[in-house]
Amino acid sequence: MHALLDPQEMARADRYAVETGVASFTLMERAGTAVADAVARFPLPTRVVVLCGPGNNGGDGFVAARVLAQRGFRVRVALLGEAARLTGDAAKAAAKWRGPVEEPAVLDLTEAGVIVDALFGAGLARDLDGAAKALVQRMAASGRPIIAVDLPSGLDGATGKVRGAAAQAKETVTFFRRKPGHLLEPGRRLCGRVRVADIGIPEAALAVIRPQAFVNMPDLWQDAFPLPAAMGHKYDRGHAVVVSGGPWTSGAAHLAAKGALRAGAGLVTVACPPAALPLHAASYAALMPRPVADAADLALLLADRRLGTVVLGPGLGAGAATRALIDAAAPGRRLVLDADALTSYEGAPWAVAAVAGRSAGLIVTPHEGEFARLFRGDREVLEAPSKLARTRAAARRLGAVVVLKGPDTVVAAPDGRAAIAENAPAFLATAGAGDVLAGIATGLLAQGMPVFEAACAAVWLHGAAACSAGPGLVADDLPEALRAVYAELYEKLGG
C-alpha cells in the first residue's frame, strides 16, 4: 500500500531511522544527493542556484550544492537568514559547502539555469511573510525551472494549501513517502512531477507509525475486490436497485444503473415512476425496470431481501419524497446516497447519520457544493484544515464512508482510514460522471465488497475508465470503458 505521511509522521519516520542506527546526517546526505541527481537530469543545467532556508530543508540544499559542484556544475548558494544561526545537521551540511554563501537579494534569479528551492519543507510552521515570502515570489516570477526539495516552499505538506506564497516547481524530490500535500490541490499542481527518493529510512517505520492515509491505488483494495467465482451464479454477484426520477430526469439513474451493471452487480433493477418505464426499458436490455410510484411501492419491491443494495439520488429531486424513499430503503440495506439525496438533508447531517445507523453500510458521494449544503453550519467539518481533514470529519459525523469528489477525490471512513485519488483526468469533469461513480460504488457494494474498499475501488475504477475512454469523454462512455479496465484488473488479480 502506498501510505501518505504527514509532516509529524515523517518526523517520526526520521526518528525511527535514527533509533535503528541510521545517522541523521546520512539521511540528509542522501536527500541532498537525490536532489542533485534530479538537477543533473535537467537539460544543460550548468548554472544552478540553490536557495537554502534556516532548517534541515536548507541543509538538504547545502548537500545538493556540494554534490553538484563536485560534479562540475556552476553552483551559487544563497541563504535566507544567518549562517551562524544554523544548527545540527543543517549547520554541518553548510560547513561542508566550501563556496561562498550569498545574500538572496544579490542574486539575479532570472540568470539561473535551474533553481533549487530548499527554503522550507516539512517544518513550515506558519504563513510565509516578509523576506521569506518576497524571495518565494521572486523565485516564482523568475520564470526559471525550479526543483523543490521535499515541497515547494510555502506549501503545507499536511493540507496541500499555500501558506503565504509558493512557487510552481517543475519537479519535487521528496523522501521515503509522499505527504497528503503532494496529492491535495493546489499542492499537487505546484509540485510538478514528484519523485520519491529512498534515503534509507527502513520500511519497518511504517509498522510503528501505522499511517491511516493512502494513495488510492489498487493495492489498497484489491484483496477485497470481488472477482467472479468460477462456480458462481448471478445472485452471488448481488442484486442492486437504482431508484430513478421521472422521465425528464431519468438519464442520471440510467447512468448509475449502467455503472452498477458494468461494475459487476449480478442484477440491476431500476425502480422508477411508471412514466419512466419505457425509457429504462430501452436502455441496456439487461436492466430490469420496475414501477415504483412512491416510498410504499419501494418498500414492497425491497421486501425481497436479495435486493440488498440501493442507490438513491441521481435525478431524484430534493425534498420530502426523496427522504421518504431513503427511509424505505435504508433498514438493513447497503446504500449509496448521491446528488439530490444529499441535498435533501441540507444542513441536517444528523439525519444522514440516522440513515447510516439504520443501514447495513452507507457511502455518500458529494461534490464540494453538495458537501457544503449538507454540512451547512457545521464549522467543525467545514473548517477542518484540509480536504482530507474535512472528509474524515464528515465520515465521523455521519458514521458513513464519505467520497468528497473533485480532481483530488478523498475517500474517508469513520475510523480515520482515508485515500486520495490521483488518477482522474481533468476531462472527467463532465455532466453525469458522478452518477456513473455512484453506480459503480453500488455495483461493488452489491457484490459484498466492504464499504470503504468499495468506495475507494469505485473512485479508482472511475478515473481509470476515464483515462481509458480518453479526451472527448462523455459520461455515457464511462460504463463502456470499464470493460477494458476490468479486463486488465481481472488479469492482474486473477492470474
- Other CB atoms within a 10 A radius of the CB of residue 42 amount to 15
∠ CA(157), CA(160), CA(161), 5° rounding? Answer: 110
What are the beta bridge partners of residue 363?
A: 336, 401
- Beta strands in 292-340, from DSSP E residues, in sequence order: 309-312, 334-337
CA distance 250 to 458: 22
Give Rg (Cα) of the chain. 26
User: Please, which residue, 2 or 367, has the CB nearer to ligand NAX?
Assistant: 2
Q: Which amino acid is at 471?
A: P
Minimum CB separation of residue 254 from ligand NAX in Å reads 49
Is 433 a binder of ligand ADP (CB under 6 A)?
Answer: yes
> Which parts of 57-76 interact with ligand NAX (CB under 6 A)?
57-60
Backbone CA torsion sign across 162, 165, 171, 177: negative
Is 405 a binder of ligand ADP (CB under 6 A)?
Answer: yes
Contact by Cβ (8 Å): 97, 65: yes
Is 167 a binder of K ion (CB under 5 A)?
Answer: no
Binding at 31: pick from ligand NAX, ligand ADP, K ion, none (beta carbon under 5-8 Å per type): ligand NAX
Contact by Cβ (8 Å): 329, 298: yes
Contact by Cβ (8 Å): 254, 280: yes
Considering only 33, 56, 142, 153, the residue that binds K ion (CB under 5 A) is: 153
Considering only 149, 162, 400, 464, the residue that binds K ion (CB under 5 A) is: 149
DSSP secondary structure letter of residue 380: H
CA distance 65 to 29: 11
Is 279 a binder of K ion (CB under 5 A)?
Answer: no
Phi then psi for 207, rounded to 5 degrees?
Answer: -65, -25
Question: What would the x/- binding string for ligand NAX be over residues 188 to 207, using CB under 6 A?
Answer: -----------x--------
Count, residues near ligand NAX per rule CB under 6 A: 29
> Which parts of 344-373 interact with ligand ADP (CB under 6 A)?
367
> Which parts of 107-136 interact with K ion (CB under 5 A)?
117, 121
Is 407 a binder of ligand ADP (CB under 6 A)?
Answer: yes
Determine if residue 409 is left, alpha or beta; phi over 0 gives left, psi from -120 to 50 gives alpha, anything else beta. Answer: beta
What are the beta bridge partners of residue 418?
A: 213, 412
Contacts of 146 (CB under 8 A, 6+ apart): 114, 115, 116, 117, 139, 152, 167, 168, 169, 170
Minimum CB separation of residue 150 from ligand NAX in Å reads 4
> Which parts of 11-50 interact with ligand NAX (CB under 6 A)?
11, 13-14, 27-28, 31
User: Please, which residue, 3 or 421, has the CB nearer to ligand NAX?
Assistant: 3
DSSP secondary structure letter of residue 155: B
Q: Which amino acid is at 74?
A: R
Question: What would the x/- binding string for ligand NAX be over residues 100 to 139, using CB under 6 A?
Answer: --------------------xxxxxxxxx---x-------
> Which parts of 162-181 interact with ligand NAX (CB under 6 A)?
175
Minimum CB separation of residue 315 from ligand ADP in Å reads 9
Considering only 56, 269, 309, 409, the residue that binds ligand ADP (CB under 6 A) is: 409
Binding at 132: pick from ligand NAX, K ion, ligand ADP, none (beta carbon under 5-8 Å per type): ligand NAX
Is 343 a binder of ligand ADP (CB under 6 A)?
Answer: no
Is 439 a binder of ligand ADP (CB under 6 A)?
Answer: no
∠ CA(186), CA(188), CA(193), 5° rounding? Answer: 145
- Which residues bind to ligand NAX, rule: CB under 6 A? 10-11, 13-14, 27-28, 31, 53-60, 120-128, 132, 149-150, 175, 199
Residue numbers at the binding site for ligand ADP (CB under 6 A): 339, 367, 405-407, 409, 424, 426, 428-429, 431-435, 437, 462
User: Which residues are at the interface with K ion (CB under 5 A)?
Assistant: 117, 121, 148-149, 153
